[in-house]
Amino acid sequence: MHDSRHCFVRSLEPVLLRAADELPAVRLTGPRQASKTTILKRFFRATRRYVSLGTPDMTAAATEDPRGFLLAWPPPVILAFDAL
C-alpha cells in the first residue's frame, strides 16, 4: 500500500530544514492529526528543545508573561501551539 503521508514528509523535509536554517521562526500548520508535531520532533529533536503550550500551566505562563516565557525558552526551540 502507498503511504501518501510518508511521501509528504519526504518532500517537506528539505524545505523545512532550509527554512529553519535561514529564518528566525518557521510556522508549520495543518489539519488535526496530520503529524505536524511528529514531523517537527523527527527533524529537530537533536538540535532544539520542544515546548508544548498544550498544558494549562504552560499556556498560563505564556499568556501572563510572554516576554518572561520566551526568555525561559531561548532559541533554538520548538514552540508547539497544539490544541489551543
In the chain, where the domains are located = 4-80
Q: Residue type at 67? A: R
Percentage of residues in the chain having pLDDT higher than 70: 87
78/52 Cα distance (integer angstroms): 8
pLDDT of residue 7: 61
Average pLDDT, the chain: 86
**In terms of residues, how long is the chain?**
84
pLDDT of residue 62: 93
Question: E-strand spans in 6-67?
Answer: 49-52
pTM beyond 0.75, yes or no: no
What mean pLDDT comes out for the span 60-75? 94
Q: Which residue has the higher pLDDT, 80 or 64?
A: 64
